[in-house]
Amino acid sequence: MRKTILGGIGLKKIWKGYLNTSLILKITIALALGVAVGFIFGEQASVLTPLGDLLMNLLNFLILPLILFTLIVGVNQTKLNSLGRMGGKVFLYYAATSAVAIMVGLTVASLFSPGTGMTLDTSETFEAPENPGVVSVLLSIVPSNIVTAFSEFNLLGIIFTAIIFGIAISYLRSKEETHEIGEQVYGVANGLNEATLFIVKGVLQYVPIGVFAIVANTVGTQGSGILLELWNVVMVLYVGIAVQLVLYTLVLILFKINPAVFFKQARTPMLTAFVTQSSSGTLPVTLNAAKNLGLSKSLYGFSLPLGATINMDGAAIRIAVSAVFAANVVGQPLSFSEMLMVVLVGTLASIGTAGVPGAGIVMIATVFAQLGLPMEAVALLAAIDILVGMGATMLNVTGDLVGSNVINKTEEKNKAA
């Protein structure tokens, strides 16, 4: 009996220690263990496949609520009547830079072609989906039936629904006669958003286990070549991030903003975002940097919190590189029209990426589901999530600050005029 009690206490300590260990360390250990097990046991490591499949199911499970509630809450970050001219500029900037980031990612990935010659070990056959065309994709943004949009997982329709309802809720909150009911509805949406993020945190605790199983199975069946291809994906993504940073610098120069002064203040939130992998968690540091840069508080007070929710240039580059990688793996390189679809779908999907560690994996899975790309590739990309997540989050925060600086500069010109 005593041994049983002591054993129970020991298991509790191990479990508590696991929960308290950083996600970075857990995934790193899982990756190393997966490689070791794969090399030692070879194809016998396939017995771990169900653990990897469970991770895929959990990721798919989170996609819909994460997009829906994150967008509704994001739209309501500021009062509707406060958006005005600055709000329009902020939304335009965020949408434009996300689209540019995806095009940068597609261009860089097309040059280096990560995943070419690699194969996925799966019992399921993959058939390239028919290209519905850009017009059909645009029309699918507005669903004819909300229930059908959700049941058929029409990603564009779901995003459209979330934005429209978010605006409607914000309008209700802004009117005296409907303020109370608007606040009630927003409270429900915000509560469901927090509940979703809580579930995300729980799923992230399982990610290392799923990563271990997936890497072990993949290395066991394919050998070390897979690791080289995944490392190529990391390198391609960081090349894309570097190109995007150069574009940010050019934008600052174009608007006559001293890049040296900007990066002197921006380096702290950039480093914080790189380490924490959380745009939302870095927000206090980002707001302080905006204050030190002398930006208008009425601007950065809503542009930065909103940016932490919907402006995900780093996630956009990840989506683009991941899409090219998955398409090359199945031997179906993206056509020009499919790349246009990636730009459209990826731009909208990146808006729904929550500023918390690990959510980028969910968004990649979302885009793959929409484009018909193999979900098994998401599992492989999850193994390097920590490596690409740091750089992507850093780029997200940098883009928020660049946008706030540029818009602040244009507002100064308007006041001077």
Summarised one tens digit per residue, pLDDT across range 192-206 is 988 887 887 787 788
Residue 156 has pLDDT above 70, yes or no: no
Residue 2, in any domain of the structure:
no
Segment 98-113 mean pLDDT: 88
Percent of the residues in the chain that have a pLDDT greater than 90, as a whole number: 13
User: Distance between CA atoms of 346 and 284, rounded to whole angstroms?
Assistant: 28
Angle at 262 between CA 258 and CA 267, to 5 degrees: 150
Residue 313, in any domain of the structure:
yes
pLDDT at 259: 94
Residue 3 has pLDDT above 50, yes or no: yes
Residue 131, in any domain of the structure:
yes
Where does the pLDDT of residue 112 fall: very low under 50, low under 70, confident under 90, or very high at 90 and above? confident
Q: How many domains would you assign to the chain?
A: 1
User: Distance between CA atoms of 5 and 8, rounded to whole angstroms?
Assistant: 5
Residue 95, in any domain of the structure:
yes
Token code pair at residue 350: 């990146």
Residue 67, in any domain of the structure:
yes
Q: What is the mean pLDDT of the chain?
A: 77
C-alpha pair distances (Å), 129 with each of 143, 153, 221, 332, 334: 21, 15, 27, 10, 12
* Proportion of the chain in helix, strand, coil states, percent, rounded to 5: 85, 0, 15
* Cβ within 8 Å of residue 365, ≥6 positions away: 56, 59, 60, 63, 375, 378
Segment 76-98 mean pLDDT: 73
User: Distance between CA atoms of 226 and 324, rounded to whole angstroms?
Assistant: 16
Residue 300, in any domain of the structure:
yes
Residue 14, in any domain of the structure:
no
Q: What is the pLDDT of residues 226-283, one digit of tens each?
A: 556 567 788 889 999 999 999 999 999 999 999 999 998 898 888 878 866 777 667 7
Residue 336 has pLDDT above 90, yes or no: no
Sign of CA dihedral 146, 148, 153, 155: negative
Percent of the residues in the chain that have a pLDDT greater than 70, as a whole number: 74
Please check whether residue 277 is in contact with residue 314, taking contact to mean a CB–CB distance below 8 angstroms: no
Residue 356 has pLDDT above 60, yes or no: no
DSSP structure string for 92-131: HHHHHHHHHHHHHHHHHHHHH-TTTT-----SS---PPP-
Return the minimum-mean-pLDDT range out of 119-123, 309-313, 378-382: 119-123
User: Distance between CA atoms of 76 and 359, rounded to whole angstroms?
Assistant: 21
Residue 12, in any domain of the structure:
no
Say which CATH number the domain at 379 has: 1.10.3860.10
User: Distance between CA atoms of 28 and 387, rounded to whole angstroms?
Assistant: 9
Residue-number span of the structural domain to which 33 is assigned: 23-416
Where does the pLDDT of residue 223 fall: very low under 50, low under 70, confident under 90, or very high at 90 and above? low
